[in-house]
Amino acid sequence: MPIKVPSDLPARAILERENIFVMDEHRAMNQDIRPLKIGILNLMPLKEDTELQLLRSLSNTPLQLDITFITVSSHESKNTAQSHINKFYEPFSAVQGQRFDGLIITGAPVEQMEFEEVDYWQELVEIMDWSQGHVTSTFFICWGAQAALYHFYGLQKSLLPQKLFGLYPHQVLERKEPLVRGFDDVFYMPHSRHTTVTADLIRTCRDIRILAESEEAGVFAAMADEGRKIFVFGHPEYDRLTLEKEYLRDKNKGLDIQIPKNYFPDDDSSKRPLLTWRAHANTLYTNWINYYVYQLTPYVW
């Protein structure tokens, strides 16, 4: 898929080395089509890593995507250079007059805080409310999904006894739903979180349908409003080494962190992890773009 991003975005060079088609502004303007406008509200601390992961995940459809990275103004990132954010991101105030075909709201490492204690919570609420009338389909990831369930439906997250960390098997519950079309009966996905919204609690809300879940990890994917809201509670966009980096980071800090489950061969952290979730992750994002964005969005907003 041609992804339209700024020519000097650092992730672009890496994607091109992987033979992922990244289109510049000049070539995009010469194509007589309307690209899909996709906003990415990136709340993760290592923004450049997340940019690369999401762009790679979105690269498996023939549709042209025009990507806009969005940031909140009520929080100052401590792990990404402000110069990078100033150059490649738009504050929400600059895009709120626009309409987007799709919006991704990422997770954030604030899950052990109460939602209202997060410094950008009110701005995030404003963005989620804005998306109702300005976005065809919004894809909420991990803490972003928990935040959306809390804001829209009043469903509260709960603290897990220990961090859910590793690769977990999941089962598809509604095979006819296009979001999980092409999935195997059992598929593995990464999780890295301290909190959850239980399946029993989600099932109390008639507006939400659970599409895939795990006995160990709980709900993986759910949706509401006929796909206008997609909730994904794991991290399908993670790269091969993301969990390893998190594990080593916490271990070097002296934190009580268990080895990621089902991740290292033979649970030996000296062995290179196998990438066993990429195909399903690509299918998930492609299905979202195709069935819930492209086929539903108007040609002219």
Lowest mean pLDDT among 33-42, 225-234, 260-269: 33-42
What are 206's two structure tokens? 């008639």
Distances from the Cα of 145 to the Cα of 84, 125, 156, angstroms: 26, 13, 11
CB 284 within 8 A of CB 234: no
123, 177, 213, 237: the catalytic one is 237
* pLDDT, tens digit (0-9, with 9 covering 90-100), for 239-248: 999 999 999 9
Indicate if the pLDDT at residue 51 is higher than 80.
Answer: yes
Active site residue 235: yes
Nearest to 103, CA basis, from 80, 81, 132, 64: 132
Catalytic residue among 48, 123, 134, 142: 142
237 as an active site residue: the answer is yes
pLDDT at 5 over 60: yes
For residue 205, indicate whether it is catalytic: no
DSSP string, 133-177: HHEEEEEEETHHHHHHHHHHH-PPPEEEEEEEEEEEEEEES-TTS
